[in-house]
Structure 1
Amino acid sequence: MRNALVRRTVLAASAVSLALLATACGSDKADTKADAKPSEAAATSAAPAAKAKTSAELAGVIVVQADLPTHVVKAPTDAETAAAAGAKSDKPECQPLVSAQSMNPVGTAAGTAGTRAVAKGKEPAADASPEEKLKAGLDALGGTTTSVYLASYEGKGAAEAFASVKTAGTACAGGYTGSQAGDSLKITKVAPGAAVTAGDEALAYTVTGDADGETITMELVVVRKGNTLATFSALSLTGVAEQPKAVVDAQVKKLG
């Protein structure tokens, strides 16, 4: 792996910002309301919208270390959060994708919270050789890093934000360039990610980018639960990230 790729990958991970990614298609959960009885559907639509959660309330339901023993969980620093806030797309129609992967709210949110989870490597045996211990250490460095971001909205804001990501995925299927803090990444290919069934509706994407001639593959999962949107952006120093299923499951469970 060339030094340029390592530099860009470390920058993205340390800033908890995978904003330089794009996506095309996703997979939605089936619309359960279609099977509901008319009276049930009417009752659901007539129910008052839940009040948006504040940032303090979201901080109480975002995943922490105890929720993910197979990961190292650590919140981003203020400097990292500030750096991520400047993530932009060269195409306005792709901005919802950039926001979803850069720990920024899609649209206007009432409350937000973010953290990151790094998958732990397999511990070497007690009697492992120095070479085996070195390999285990290198494998650990290549573990998938997932940025987790929660945004809560008033009214139909969460559903509208989710829809805007989905629309942007279609509009930006041909790729775009994302930039942040003077760095940029060109997206070369987008494809559906492994199907995700979580929350009220979910999307999953696999994104391929070109970093100075090196190919990197990243994952994005977007889940809406009520009036909260949860985004999961995954990147690995190896250049090939895994979909963060354990992180998604743990976070959605905490959202109730």
Structure 2
Amino acid sequence: MRRTDLRRTAVAAVAAASLTLLVGACAADKPAAHAPAAGAPAKPEEAAAKALSAAELEKAALAEGDLSTHMVKNGTKADEVPDGAVKTDKAECKPLGDAMAAIPMGKPAAHVLRKAVEKPAKMKVDPNASAEEKAKAGIAAMTQPVTADRLASYEGKGAQEAFAALSKAGQACGGGFTGDQAGEKVKITKVLADTVTGGDEAQGWTLTMDGDGTEVVMKLAAVREGSTLATFYTISLGGTVKAQPAGVIDAQVKKLG
């Protein structure tokens, strides 16, 4: 994503308007689980699940009022990035690139998008404040973290396969990659695995991007709950996202459960 897109994303989110997500990324996977000890019972295989309908996903998705810490808005057509729009220099990195662009993994039966904007500590500006103070408050508001919450529901084992694809891409692309969207290139310079909990499977990543010499730190998380995969991509015009949006993730997974 180019710097103008980063600025447009944060400003639009704070204004509760369109959020454009046009960035790809790659990450390191967390260590694989140890094999069960000899004689230990194997973990029962999950039964194939039935996908949620579009109406059921809409009901399960976050809504304004669900979080006291965030404003929540529905995604719009302008927020949707078509499949294939994000390219990566390494083909194996494409699943994570798509996740960062909020493109649904694979072939979901239904999907929805929400935008959660963290509320500034002070939502209102003192009417008697100076012009400088009001300007500072406005800038502070625009640097609030913005999270794209994509829900996608799948038939059969589609959700497990989508989550596995993200993990596999993380293993292959931990050293970074170059992405391209409509001719605009982005370079991920560092990726670290994060601890994310919830649902049946969960994983997170911290990604550092070179934004024309400015370090931009972003967060990505994926949580599978049954037949639904939720991905959370968080960015800030301030350049640094300090933590995974745990409150957003927890609230969303709770509604899915």
Q: Which amino acid aligns with 2:166?
A: V
The residue number in structure 2 matching 1:16 is: 20
Moved more, 174-183 or 95-104: 174-183
Counterparts of 1:18 and 1:191, CA distance in 2 = 21
Q: How many angstroms does 1:79 deviate by? A: 2.3
Is this contact kept in 1: 2:209–2:217, CA < 8 A?
yes
Matches within 5 A, 1:1-256: 5=3, 7-12=4-9, 14-17=18-21, 19-26=23-30, 45=45, 48-82=47-81, 86-123=85-122, 126=126, 129-130=129-130, 131-193=132-194, 195-242=195-242, 243-256=244-257
Q: Deviations over 1:145-180 (max 9, x none)?
A: 000001111111111111111110010011112222
State TM-score, norm by structure 1: 0.84
Report the residue type matching 2:255 in the other structure. K
Task: Tell whether the 8 Å contact from 2:81 to 2:101 is kept in structure 1 after alignment.
Answer: no
How far apart, CA to CA, are the structure 2 residues paired with 1:202 and 1:101? 16
Where relative contact order (Cα < 8 A, 6+ residues apart) is larger, the structure is 1
Contact 1:149–1:232 (8 Å) recurs in 2:
yes
Q: CA deviation at 1:83?
A: 5.8
Q: Report how far residue 247 of structure 1 moved.
A: 0.8
Confirm or deny: 8 A CA contact 1:15 1:83 kept in the other structure: no
Q: CA deviation at 1:11?
A: 4.3
Q: Distance in 2 between matches of 1:163 and 1:91?
A: 18
Structure showing the higher helix proportion among its residues? 1
Deviation at 1:189, TM superposition (A): 0.7
Q: How many residues align?
A: 243
Q: Residue type of the partner of 1:9?
A: L
Whole-angstrom distance in 1 between the partners of 2:19 and 2:61 = 18
The gaps in structure 2 that reach 5 residues or longer are: 11-17
| SS in structure 2 of the partner of residue 73 of structure 1 | strand
1:82 offset after TM fit, Å?
4.2
Structure 1 residues 18 and 246: alpha-carbon distance in aligned structure 2, compared to 1, 3 A threshold: farther
Shift of 1:99: 1.5
CA distance in 2, matches of 1:102, 1:60: 23
Residue segments in structure 1 that go unaligned for 5+ positions in a row? none
Tell me, in whole angstroms, the C-alpha distance in 1 between the residues paired with 2:8 and 2:96: 19
Change (3 A) 1:55 1:179: farther
Output the CA distance in 2 between the equivalents of 1:77 and 1:111. 15
Task: Give the TM-score normalised by the residue count of structure 2.
Answer: 0.84
- 1:16 and 1:57 map into 2 onto residues whose CA distance is 25
Identity of aligned residues (%): 45
Partner deviation per Cα, 1:196-216 (whole Å, 9 max, x = no partner): 111111001000011212110
Q: Deviations over 1:198-246 (max 9, x none)?
A: 1111001000011212110000010011111000000000110132111
Post-superposition offset of 1:139? 1.3
